[in-house]
Amino acid sequence: MKRFNIVGTDVPRTDAEAKARGTAIYTDDMKLPGMLYGKILRSPLPHALIRNIDISRAASLPGVKCVITGEDTPKIKYGNWRLFPETQDEYPLAVEKVRFIGDEVAAVAAIDNDTAEEALELIKVEYEELPGVFDVDSSILPAAPVIHDYCPSNISVNRKIKYGDIEKGFAEADYVREDTFTMQSVSHAYLEPCSALAQVDLDGRITLWTSTQVPYIIQCLLASTLNMRENDIRVIKPFVGGGFGGKMELRAWEFCAAFIAKKTGRPVKFTLSREEEFLTGRRRHPMKIRSRVGFKKDGTLVAKDLRIQLDGGAYNAMGPTATFLCGNFGAMLYRYPNYRFHGEHIYTNKPPASAMRGFGAPQSLYATEIQMNLAAEELGIDPIDIRLKNAQVSGDKIPDVATISSCGFIESIKAVADMSGWKEKRKNLKPGQGIGIGCYSFISGGVFNWFNTQYPFSAAEVRAFSDGTVHLLTMASDIGQGSDTVLKQILAEELGLNMGDIRITSADTSMTPQADLGSWGSRVTLMAGNAVIDAAKKIKERLFGALSARFNLNVIHEIECKNGRVQAVTRPDYGLTFGEAVALVQKANRGEPLVARGSYTPRGKGLVTPAFGFGAQVAEVEVDRQTGLVEVKQMWTAHDCGTVINPRSVEGQLAGSIQMGLGYALSEQFVMDGGKTLNTSFVDYKMPTAADMPPSQVVHVDTYEPEGPMGAKEAGEGLASPTAPAISDAVYHATGYRCMDLPVTPEKILEGMKKD
Amino acid sequence: MRLPKFEYFEPKTLEAALNLLTQNGNNAHLLAGGTDVLVKMRNGRLKPEAVIGLQGIEDLNGIHFDSGKGLAIGATAKLAEVASNPDVLKHYPALAFAAGVMANVQVRNMGTIAGNLCNAAPSAENAPPLMAMGAEVALANLQGDRRIALHQFFRGPGLTAMEHGEIMTAILVPFPVPKSGASYKRVSARCGVDIAAVCVSAWVALDGEVCKDVRIVLGAVAPTPMRAVGAESFMREQTWTQELIETAAAQAVQESKPISDVRASADYRKKMVAVLTLRALEQAYERAIKN
Amino acid sequence: MKHHINFSVNGDDYSLAVDPWRTLNELLREDLNLTGTKLGCGTGDCGACTVMVDGRTVSSCLTLAVSVNGKSVTTVEGLAPSGEELHPIQESFIKTGAIQCGFCTAGMEMSALHLLNNNPEPTEKEIRAGLSGNLCRCTGYNQIVEAISVAAEQIRDSEHEKEER
């Protein structure tokens, strides 16, 4: 393993002290002079035409400063898939039609929250209710109500992948099985409800502070929906209380804050309630997965035919990406010589599903992993062995996707089997006790430029000063995952400085270099990290040149930045402090500051990702055979995230994904009645608490990713996938109940359990 | 949502509170800990014009125990105080447990048993152990006081036997007779911030191996917390056997009238009534023989 | 009708008039600009708004502002008054990686304080139970639990030191 000074150490988070003291400012903490408070009126119906909206009573309520409906807006549709404008299907405020309960219909801004809420009740909307569809099967029937006129089939995205010869593959198989899986919808349940604050300056330019993962995307889409120039919009991301994929699109309140600020000349803030978040918020896609796989007798995979229907809800949101990716995830992890995928993104009259930690992988890999175990059992092979036989390794090619570079998958499986005492426990546990496995592979950022950015995927600017400090500017967005810290660590390592020598400004679209696609798809460490290194290397070149001249070094000398100095490697006495070296460069350029820009855009890396993370997880459970309640006793994880840049952060990501995976496996689900979400509080949306978390042991498999900054790749998002199949498999081992439709509820266990 | 607008009163005496309540008629609502009332107001399910806070009334505070009269829990005593009170822990462990696992730490620091009962949710978690132990509630109005057995108190979801102008002042639990014991069992999907999908309390009094008396109370399986009276009468005066309690548990299932909702299906709830009744009876028995 | 209330927050006395329908959370965040206390759900389930009133943790979203009349409130800003040394709980939260997005942190720290005030030597199980009213979506709680047990030890150590002196 390569040795580093700062990378690989438990540097405390850059922002931890401010958060510990309560001084970190989140969007809703901000207040500006003259600020108005905004609220949104939402559709109570899942599918209806808007016949009339009467805002007169609301507008005349004392204290109300502005009421808008879709008719007041420029009526420009938006969506993240800019490369394919036909997929942009959403208006900031509904125009003529509402498509789900919660669809935004009107907005109010008033002098305080109480008045704004009161005004909402005074807006009268006449609807003509239309029949709705609430599941994929009814939605694709020929006679089904059409949700978007442009899309009479209700299938908004069709994605097909094919390689090898699927028929031949199945013909060669000794054993073929087909299974159907369904998955529920779950919530991101980030703790900070969405909030946005807009201010307009005297020139009509807008500044928007917003709780987002994607400031650059917000900037662009806000500009287009307002009919303004991109650079007349400045988006600033303050501290963000978590996202997990749920804050990666332009949303109605962001538009409304900006639009009303422009109209009234006053700052406007919108903050959602938790009830709004649960009732109408984005969520993970429910899916229906049909998977047919063929094996040789010895357990070798020969073919897979995968068909996935995504219940997208009323708008595309990030559904197209999820549709693409779950096809790719279906072909990852194991070697499939012959593969076919057909994915359909289907509209229903429910709150839109979108990106959520794993982006299609938790669903797709649940099917993969459970099916692997079903096959292993029929073929009489241990689940560990069947995985080892088919595991992807470095150098494997996924057609049209990528060649796998670093890969610690086999090591992960072996490590986790070893740690958990798999062989012994899988044979010998008592009834009610069980052990199960789940594995994952995940992307380190996406390559496919669906947003059609005209800039590099990630960028960084480094400004070096003669006092020995540097200033790092990047649009990369820390939403709590710790990217500010990680990027500082990478820069400190590269320049031989301490964390305290670096100031960071991030995620401000007017101040940080263009551009960055945001925090999603586990892209930030690899892409923004590479951009930082690129900028740092340019700084170093300048410093090295100056040093070389200053000491008249032979051109063959290696020069390094180390321990706050710039020096010849073999003659450290030919060296200067970092600040002195910067001063030299600056003098040589007659005062011009030492600044460099770096960027990263994946090229020649296929269409999916520049690097893959891998891992395996084992869960041990105890099931109360009378109540069906599951207690997860222990989790073991071995994973390959390349170089670990901050071990505590990586372990925190792991524990966080176990929490989310545990909920996905056992207790979390949106309970729907048609288009209505019934559980809209944390009492009835059951995400695990501290007392529900199992003890956990982890091994980081030592690999080095050549494409990653200092060998690093994704950590923490891939881990959203293995927990549910591992727990589900353990429940099967404990009870004989095999769950094909998540979540694994006590009720289903009692129903499906083998009685003995 | 924000809270609706209302007038607030914080009387210092019970009499003042009763006067306020009577003067403000149906538009007044009492506030003890606020953990249910404020949530209902936020959801728009409750829009009182006057809110009468009871916290300033000293007489309503406190938990009093004596081995003759038993336990008296003041209307504003916090759940956390009940759960950690040494006398409650010693003599009424089922109640201490129920109060101590309800909701979460902060809610227990604010909420009260009286509030939990007056809210009259079918799942009111303190109701089953209190009913099982034969608790009464003390109600005051301007004309005087009255007491009513808790098992006659609940009338439907959100509905109680309280009349307008009445305030619950205390919950009274008799001192446990010798060789008696009570228990509380629940199932919920997770360990914190939760509400029981089903809960069952049992109380038994033994005479040797004979079940002299028994009360079985089911929560969250009917419009109100309910006694399984059929199962109880089946057990009375019978010798305690595994078969006896199994049959009683099956009888309790027959008596329960659960619905399906976001927390569980009716079918699962019925199954849990069987499991929890059995477990509750077993634990009550264990406690009774040691008492 | 507004009510006049007197109370203290983090040792500072306040005397002001509030509408009865305003919550303690609104009072702290909107009127006193003490925004360290968050609002995560408004129904007392997530714990992000946890503060201490007279030494007990409460959900500030379910506490009427009028009801703190005569009482003493402690918020996250009162754990370590700005510029001064961190409270051992804050220090251990920073060190152990217990803070990711930070939105639950203030509430977690207040619950930790309440727990350690009542139980200076909690077991892991007791710590987890003490956090039953504080949800977190980032950390999986493990590093928070570790932080609290590290803080407990540190508080005990420094109290021993005081006694020895």
One domain for residues B160 and B112: yes
A629 touches chain B (CB under 8 A): yes
User: Per-residue pLDDT tens for B12-30?
Assistant: 999 999 999 999 988 999 9
Among the partner-chain residues A114, A117, A691, the one whose CB lies closest to the CB of B191 is A691
Closest chain C residue by Cα to residue B40: C43
Shared-domain flag, residues B29 and B81: no
**Among residues B108, B142, B173, which one ends one of the domains?**
B173
CATH number at residue B162: 3.30.465.10
Q: Is the pLDDT of residue B123 over 90?
A: no
Q: Does B271 sit within 8 Å of A683, measured CB to CB?
A: no
Whether B23 is in a domain gets the answer yes
Ranges of H-type helices in A552-646:
578-588
Q: Which residues of C touch B99 (CB under 8 A)?
A: none
Three-class SS state of B281: helix
- Contact between A94 and A104 under an 8 Å Cβ cutoff? The reply is yes
Residues B188 and B266 in one domain: yes
Residue A541 has what pLDDT? 98
Asked whether the predicted pLDDT for residue C115 surpasses 90, the reply is yes
Distance CA(A278)–CA(A276), nearest Å, equals 5
Question: Do the beta carbons of residue A682 and residue A617 sit within 8 Å?
Answer: no
**Host domain of residue B66:** 58-173
**C112 upstream amide cis, omega within 30 of 0:** no
Instruction: For residue B224, tell me if it sits in a domain.
Output: yes
Burial class of residue A94, CB neighbours in 10 A (0-12, 13-18, 19+): buried
Which of A626, A670, A676, A751 is most worth mutating to test chain B (most B CB atoms within 10 A of its CB)?
Answer: A626
The yes-or-no verdict on residue A375 having pLDDT over 80 is: yes
What residues of B are in contact with residue C135 (Cβ under 8 Å)?
Answer: 193
Q: Where residue B192 falls among pLDDT bands split at 50, 70, 90?
A: low
Assess if residue B169 is contained within a domain: yes
Chain C residues closer than 8 Å to A244 by CB: 137
List all residues of chain B from 103 to 132 with a beta carbon under 8 Å from chain C: 103-107, 109-110
Binned at pLDDT 50, 70 and 90, residue C82 comes out as low
Spell out the domains of chain A, with CATH numbers in brackets: 16-22+457-600 (3.30.365.10), 31-130+191-242+247-280 (3.90.1170.50), 287-448+606-752 (3.30.365.10)
Tell me the mean pLDDT in the region A66-72.
98
Q: What is the pLDDT of residues B43-57, one digit of tens each?
A: 999 999 999 999 999
Helix (H) or strand (E) run with residue B132 in it? helix B127-132
Q: Do C64 and B42 touch (CB under 8 A)?
A: no
Q: For residue B69, tell me if it sits in a domain.
A: yes
Domains and CATH numbers, chain C: 3-78 (3.10.20.30), 88-164 (1.10.150.120)
Q: Given an 8 Å threshold on Cβ–Cβ distance, is B263 in contact with A626?
A: no
Contacts of A667 in chain B (CB under 8 A): 189-190
pLDDT for A374 equals: 98
Residues B29 and B95 in one domain: no
Structural domain includes residue B2:
no
DSSP per-residue letters across B203-260:
EEEEETTEEEEEEEEEESSSSS-EE-HHHHHHHTTEE--HHHHHHHHHHHHHH-----
B156 and B240 in a single domain? The answer is no
Domain presence at residue B28: yes
Mean pLDDT value of segment B245-272: 96
- Whether residues B245 and B158 fall in one domain: no
Contacts of B44 in chain C (CB under 8 A): none
Report the alpha-carbon distance of residue A605 to residue A19 in Å, rounded.
38
- Residue C135 to residue A687, Cβ atoms within 8 A: yes
Among B173, B202, B217, identify where a domain stops: B173
* Sequence-distant contacts of B67-73: CB under 8 A, at least 24 apart: B67/B175, B68/B175, B69/B172, B69/B175, B70/B172, B70/B173, B70/B174, B70/B175, B71/B172, B71/B173, B71/B175, B72/B138, B72/B170, B72/B171, B72/B172, B72/B173, B73/B113, B73/B114, B73/B170, B73/B171, B73/B172, B73/B173
- Statement to judge: residues B96 and B72 lie in one domain: yes
DSSP secondary-structure letter at A642? B
Average pLDDT, chain B: 95
Q: Which chains touch A (3 or more CB pairs under 8 A)?
A: B, C
With bands split at pLDDT 50, 70 and 90, how would you rate the model's confidence at A606? confident
CA gyration radius for chain C? 16
**Which pLDDT does position A734 carry in this prediction?**
97
List the single best residue of B190, B263, B268, B270 to mutate versus A (max A Cβ within 10 A).
B190
Residue A7 has pLDDT above 90, yes or no: yes
Residues A414-425: what's their mean pLDDT?
98
A114/B2 touch (CB, cutoff 8 Å), yes or no = yes
Indicate if B109 and B25 belong to the same structural domain: no
Looking at the structure of chain B, the number of domains it has is 3
The 10s digit of each residue's pLDDT in C7-66 is 999 999 999 999 999 999 999 999 999 999 999 999 999 999 999 999 999 999 999 999
A contacts of B264 (beta carbons < 8 Å): 747
Q: What is the pLDDT at residue A601?
A: 98
Chain B nearest CA to C128, separation (Å): 9
**B94 and B161 share a domain?**
yes
Q: How high is the mean pLDDT of chain A?
A: 97
pLDDT of residue A1: 52
Check residue C123 and give its pLDDT. Answer: 98
Q: Is A678 on the interface with B (CB under 8 A)?
A: yes
Residue B42 and residue B147 share a domain: no
| Among B131, B155, B173, residue at a domain's last position | B173
Task: Note whether B70 and B164 are same-domain residues.
Answer: yes
Strands A155-163 and A339-347: antiparallel
Other chains touching C, judged by 3 or more CB pairs under 8 Å: A, B
Residue B284 sits in a domain of what CATH number?
Answer: 3.30.390.50
Q: What's the pLDDT at A515?
A: 95
Residue C165 pLDDT class (50, 70, 90 cuts): confident
Percentage above 90 pLDDT, chain A: 97
Which subunits sit against B, judged by 3+ Cβ pairs under 8 A?
Answer: A, C
Has residue B1 been placed in a domain? no
**Mean pLDDT of all residues in C136-157:** 97
Is position B259 within any domain? yes
Rounded to an integer, what distance in angstroms lies between the CA atom of residue A738 and that of residue A753?
8
B193: pLDDT strictly greater than 70: no
Return the CATH number at B15: 3.30.43.10
In this structure, are B208 and B265 located in the same domain?
yes
A143–C contact, CB cutoff 8 A? no
